[in-house]
Amino acid sequence: MASPKGEDKRHRIVEAAVTLFSRYGYKRTSIELLAAEAGVAKPTIYAYFEDKDSIFRAVVEAVCVELLERAEAASLARGAVEERLAAMLAAKLTRYFELVQASPHAQELVDSQGRLGAEIVQRTDRAYVKLLVAVIEADEELDPSRIGLSAASAAQLLLRAASGAAYDATTTVAHRKHLGEIVRVIVAAIRR
């Protein structure tokens, strides 16, 4: 088990990588830049990570853990089901919009994610859909079967539709607004 001081350094490296990958893309982010941004020596990076690929996977893992934690917190919040579902979708999709879509290196980051972090993203997506399904099933006002859907297919529909929230969104505020509109329409369709 790593010491708290060691975990702090590792965390600083990962946070620096999040910033730099978004700013410069995967290819242009060097270990030297990471060391400078994290405030550590280059050998310190290699004490925690084998190479840049392993740093990128750690970034994908950290972002996925963060979005699942935010989605779970939103699922447990008080408020209307539309608000909770919109907040859950924002935890995943607005965060992704902030990190990737708003970056001038979006395609490179998506390609790198697919190449280096696909299994992490797939595992996270499965856990995320389970959270959406649980919220839909727990709400007595919702009945997806009235329009021929199961809770799981309604969750998938929400996720697919919400993936389009980035269309013509130029800010995170606009992205969240689009998510809210999408959720309101779908929830209205599955409400008893």
Question: Tens of pLDDT along 42-93?
Answer: 999 999 999 999 999 999 999 899 999 999 999 999 999 999 999 999 999 9
Q: Residue 112's pLDDT is what?
A: 78
Residues of the domain holding 140: 62-190
CA distance 68 to 88: 9
Q: Which residue ranges in the chain fall short of pLDDT 70?
A: 1-6, 102
Residues 173 and 81 in one domain: yes
Number of structural domains found in the chain: 2
Q: Residue 39's pLDDT is what?
A: 96
CA distance 55 to 117: 11
Residues 91 and 7 in one domain: no
Q: Residue 6's pLDDT is what?
A: 67
Q: Residue 25's pLDDT is what?
A: 87
Whether residue 124 lies inside any domain: the answer is yes
Whether residue 57 lies inside any domain: the answer is no
179, exposed or middle or buried, with CB in 10 Å at 0-12, 13-18, 19+?
A: buried
Residues 125 and 86 in one domain: yes
State pTM to two decimals. 0.85
Residues 145 and 122 in one domain: yes
Q: Residue 146's pLDDT is what?
A: 94
Residues 138 and 101 in one domain: yes
Residues 139 and 178 in one domain: yes
> How many C-alpha atoms does 17 have within 13 Å on its Cβ side?
26
Residues 148 and 113 in one domain: yes
What is the per-residue burial (b if ≥16 Cβ within 10 Å, else e) of 106-133?
eebbeebbeebbeebbeebeeebeebbb
Residues 167 and 81 in one domain: yes
Check if the beta carbon of residue 10 is closer than 8 Å to that of residue 18. no
Q: Residue 183's pLDDT is what?
A: 98
Whether residue 56 lies inside any domain: the answer is no
Check if the beta carbon of residue 10 is closer than 8 Å to that of residue 48. yes
